[in-house]
């Protein structure tokens, strides 16, 4: 197995020592002890602050996709109308997930190098299609883009759409998220991005409107949200709770709180801007159109035309640097630098950029 001293993959990211220590600690029996319940409550309180919400949060054991699937299946029945906003792999992919469970899906689509705009088209689709749910991705990791959420929330409210589902897996912890202000009913997060944990916890902040729908749909699967309804009053977790993971999540939130929310966002913004500036100065071409909004957590860059992705990746790895490739139509064309969470670090980025400069000049 190969290891790389300069990890820049946009998830799973490097895990800081203090978080690792939470995994190495021995705990009790989580479904029998009130200590676990207290940890859940305290973690939820901190996460609510980070996500700008008063909504109850379901912490599920599993990687990001468990909340993407579980939130759809818990709220959508065959024939329900879902309006998907597509600006990349995950945005379009969520439409496919909804279709696979029998929803009638309409897509307002954009190019992968764009972020949401053309609000007239989006509003017209809401008016004509009358969806039960709108789906959106805040940070499209494969494109390195960040969709504006405020205006979407206003439209959702204006047209009384019951549910707004937002994938915030790659933004929470690196970018300000205002779940309640943006009218998000299902705000989805993952542990392996800006929270700097392994990929073992996914979480959803669920609005009271969404809980009503969840109780009505009664989806019974392993990834269901229903068992988490008022979980702290019931004290009955649906499966063996992941005490180590929740302790690690609590530690991650403490680290963010100790630095300060705004300081964390400014660090991400500053280092992302600096990364993009240096890449351009070297000669790389950024993937996004200039009119699109770049995410402070990840940058997508075109693979230089003088090489191919495999050769380029091998050359970087030989220097100890690992970046992310991309997916779907971007596979082989785009590489990504994940400057999120513990990897939003000046020293690490300087090392990565030095290697990226060297390899570019050699090609
Ligand atoms: N949503 C976005 C925007 C992602 O980038 C990812 C993973 O890269 C996911 C969802 C799925 O998360 P996971 O890979 O942990 O299942």
Nearest CA to ligand 1 atom 2: 169
Task: Pick the closest to residue 140 from 273, 299, 271 (CA basis).
Answer: 299
Nearest CA to ligand 1 atom 1: 169
Kindly compute the dihedral angle of the four CA atoms of residues 257, 262, 265, 271, in this order, to the nearest 10 degrees.
-110
pLDDT band at 345 (very low <50, low <70, confident <90, very high): very high
pLDDT beyond 90 at 183: yes
Task: Pick the closest to residue 12 from 340, 282, 353, 361 (CA basis).
Answer: 340
pLDDT beyond 90 at 30: no
Q: Percentage of the chain surpassing pLDDT 90?
A: 94
Q: How far is the CA of 95 from the centre of ligand 1 (A)?
A: 15
- Residues 6+ positions from 178 with CB-CB distance below 8 Å: 52, 149, 150
Nearest CA to ligand 1 atom 7: 64
pLDDT confidence of residue 328? 86
Sheet harboring 133-137: ordered strands across?
Answer: 56-61, 201-206, 186-190, 163-167, 133-137, 81-86, 104-109
Q: pTM of whole model > 0.85?
A: yes
Which comes out higher in pLDDT, residue 28 or 299? Answer: 299
* 191 CA: nearest ligand 1 atom: 15
Kindly compute the dihedral angle of the four CA atoms of residues 81, 84, 90, 92, in this order, to the nearest 10 degrees.
100
Per-residue burial over 168-184, b = 16 or more CB atoms within 10 Å of its CB, e = otherwise: bbbbbbbbbbebbebbb
- Residues 6+ positions from 123 with CB-CB distance below 8 Å: 155, 159
Strands 145-146 vs 201-206: parallel, antiparallel or unpaired:
unpaired
| Residue range 34-59: mean pLDDT, rounded | 97
Name the residue of 72, 90, 175, 297 whose CB sits within 8 Å of the most ligand 1 atoms, as the mutation to test its pocket.
90
Q: How far is the CA of 46 from the centre of ligand 1 (A)?
A: 22
Domains of the chain: 6-13+261-362 (3.90.1150.10), 17-257 (3.40.640.10)
Distance CA 317, CA 145 (A): 25
Cβ 65 vs Cβ 223: under 8 Å: no
* 202 CA: nearest ligand 1 atom: 15
Q: Model confidence over 71-102: pLDDT tens digits? A: 999 999 999 999 999 999 999 999 999 999 99
pLDDT confidence of residue 274? 98
Distance of CA 196 to the CA centre of its chain: 12
Name the residue of 62, 93, 170 whose CB sits within 8 Å of the most ligand 1 atoms, as the mutation to test its pocket.
170
Name the residue of 85, 141, 200 whose CB sits within 8 Å of the most ligand 1 atoms, as the mutation to test its pocket.
141
């Amino acid at each position: 197995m190969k290891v790389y001293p300069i990890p820049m993959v946009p998830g799973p990211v490097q895990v800081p020592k203090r978080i690792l220590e939470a995994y190495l600690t021995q705990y009790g029996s989580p479904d029998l002890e009130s200590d676990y319940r207290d940890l859940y409550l305290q973690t939820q309180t901190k996460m609510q602050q980070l996500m700008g919400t008063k909504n109850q949060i379901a912490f599920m054991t599993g990687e990001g996709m468990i909340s993407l699937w579980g939130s759809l299946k818990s709220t959508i029945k065959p024939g329900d109308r879902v309006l998907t906003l597509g600006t990349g792999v995950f945005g379009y992919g969520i439409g496919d997930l909804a279709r696979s469970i029998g929803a009638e899906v309409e897509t307002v689509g954009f190019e992968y190098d764009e972020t949401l705009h053309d609000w007239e088209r989006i509003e017209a689709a809401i008016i004509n299609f009358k969806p039960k749910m709108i789906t959106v991705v805040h940070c499209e990791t494969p494109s390195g883009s960040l969709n504006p959420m405020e205006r979407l929330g206003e439209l959702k409210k204006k047209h009384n759409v019951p549910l707004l589902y937002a994938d915030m897996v790659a933004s929470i912890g690196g970018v300000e998220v205002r779940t309640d202000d943006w009218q998000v009913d299902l705000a989805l997060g993952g542990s392996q991005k800006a929270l700097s944990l392994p990929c073992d916890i996914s979480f959803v902040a669920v609005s009271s409107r969404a809980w009503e729908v969840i109780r009505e749909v009664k989806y019974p699967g392993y990834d269901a949200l229903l068992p988490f309804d008022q979980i702290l009053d019931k004290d009955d977790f649906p499966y063996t709770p992941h005490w180590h993971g929740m302790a690690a999540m609590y530690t991650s939130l403490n680290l963010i709180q100790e630095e300060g929310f705004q300081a964390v966002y400014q660090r991400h913004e500053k280092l992302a801007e600096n990364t993009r500036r240096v890449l351009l100065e070297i000669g790389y071409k950024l993937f996004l159109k200039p009119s699109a909004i770049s995410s402070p957590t990840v940058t997508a860059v075109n693979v230089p035309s003088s090489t191919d992705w495999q050769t380029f990746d091998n050359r970087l790895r030989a220097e100890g640097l690992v970046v992310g490739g991309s997916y779907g139509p971007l596979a082989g064309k785009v590489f990504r630098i994940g400057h999120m969470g513990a990897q939003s670090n000046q020293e690490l980025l300087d090392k990565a950029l030095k290697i990226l400069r060297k390899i570019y000049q050699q090609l």
